[in-house]
Amino acid sequence: MKKITLALCATLASVSASADTILGFDATLGSWKPAYTGAIGVDDFNVDEFTLAEDNATFIQAALEHPVPLIPNILVAHSSIETNGTAMLSENVTFGDETFFVGSDVTADINLTHTDATLYYEILDNWVNLDLGLTARQYSGELTATSDLQSDNIELSGVLPMVYGMARFDLPFTGWSIIAQGNGTGYKGDSHTDITAKIRWDFVPALDFAIEAGYRSMTLDVQELDALQSDLEIKGPYLGLNLHL
């Protein structure tokens, strides 16, 4: 009877331990405070002239991992990025198909909201974690330029294929992790990168909750993605809440 009891306990312990490896879930919800530099429009108009508002941008991402060989894991993410500003033009500037003339007061509304779908493989999974994969980024944004006499709306709805990578270093027995995560692509002179460096602290280990803080830098140097022409850098700090099961 004692042997049966010990065998049963061992079996239950084995099942409990393996249950954590059947499916893994990781999700982060956060707020990003980006600043904007660079240029937009056919004439590479400096966005500093618009004094764009540095409003908080929200983001969420969730990843699902499984132990099935050859089938990739999946990560989905969404970032809502919107800002606006006004400038008096010191030169003629073309946004899309519309030329705004010198002396015009122009208001620019910029929306770079996007959704990512990523398929990736877990290359390493211990105190050093490494993921590699491919991302399809779908933009659902626009640039609207308006003056007293003119207006132009440029939609941004193209899909960009990007390379994905994530490296996480867990500091043993501390609850702290250092993470670098990013996407990047380049084609025919266009390039787009989106890189985040962050630290994570498991402040409630029993509930699988963690808080993370970091810095996100995104560049968008494109001439061929829909009608938008830009050479933008968007970067700033963020704070997020993480759940991992």
Query: What value, to the nearest 5°, has the Cα angle with vertex 137 and ends 244 and 145?
Result: 120
Sheet containing 141-146: give its strands across: 82-88, 105-111, 141-146, 151-156
Give the pLDDT score at 183: 98
Q: Tell me if residue 147 falls in helix, strand or coil.
A: coil
Lowest mean pLDDT among 55-69, 105-119, 128-142, 146-160: 146-160
How many other CB atoms are found less than 10 A from the CB of residue 44?
Answer: 13
Q: Is the pLDDT of residue 229 over 50?
A: yes
Give the pLDDT score at 18: 38
Give the pLDDT score at 10: 41
Q: What is the mean pLDDT of residues 70-76?
A: 96
Nearest by Cα to 115 from 147, 174, 160: 160
- Contact, 202 vs 210, CB < 8 A? yes
State the chain's maximal CA–CA distance in angstroms: 92
Q: What is the mean pLDDT of residues 52-73?
A: 94
Give the pLDDT score at 43: 86
Q: Is the pLDDT of residue 15 over 80?
A: no
Q: Is the pLDDT of residue 139 over 60?
A: yes
Q: Which amino acid is at 106?
A: V
Q: Is the pLDDT of residue 57 over 90?
A: yes
Most confidently predicted of 17-21, 180-184, 207-211: 180-184
How many Å separate Cα 95 from the centre of its chain?
Answer: 26
d(C-alpha 45, C-alpha 230), whole Å: 9
Q: Is the pLDDT of residue 157 over 90?
A: no
Nearest by Cα to 78 from 32, 16, 35: 32
Q: What is the mean pLDDT of residues 126-139?
A: 95
% of the chain with per-residue pLDDT over 90: 68
Radius of gyration of the chain (CA): 23
% of the chain with per-residue pLDDT over 70: 90
Pairing of β 105-111 and β 114-125: unpaired
Q: Which residues pair with 45 in a beta bridge?
A: 40
Give the pLDDT score at 144: 94
Q: What is the mean pLDDT of residues 194-198?
A: 98
> b/e map of 106-136 (b: 16 or more CB within 10 Å)?
bebebbbbbebebebebeeeeeebebebebe
DSSP string, 76-115: EEEEE-EEEEEEE-SS-EEETTEEEPTT-EEEEEEE--EE
Name residues whose C-beta falls within 8 Å of residue 59's C-beta, 6 or more positions apart in sequence.
28, 29, 30, 31, 32, 77, 78, 79, 80, 238, 240
Give the pLDDT score at 37: 96
- End-to-end Cα, the chain, rounded Å: 36
Q: Is the pLDDT of residue 17 over 60?
A: no
CATH 2.40.160.20 correct for 22-244: yes
Q: How confident is the model at residue 189 (pLDDT cuts 50, 70, 90)?
A: confident
Give the pLDDT score at 155: 87
For 52, counting Cβ atoms within 10 Å of its Cβ (0-12 exposed, 13-18 middle, 19+ buried), the class is buried
pTM of the model: 0.86
More confident residue, 188 or 197: 197
Give the pLDDT score at 22: 75
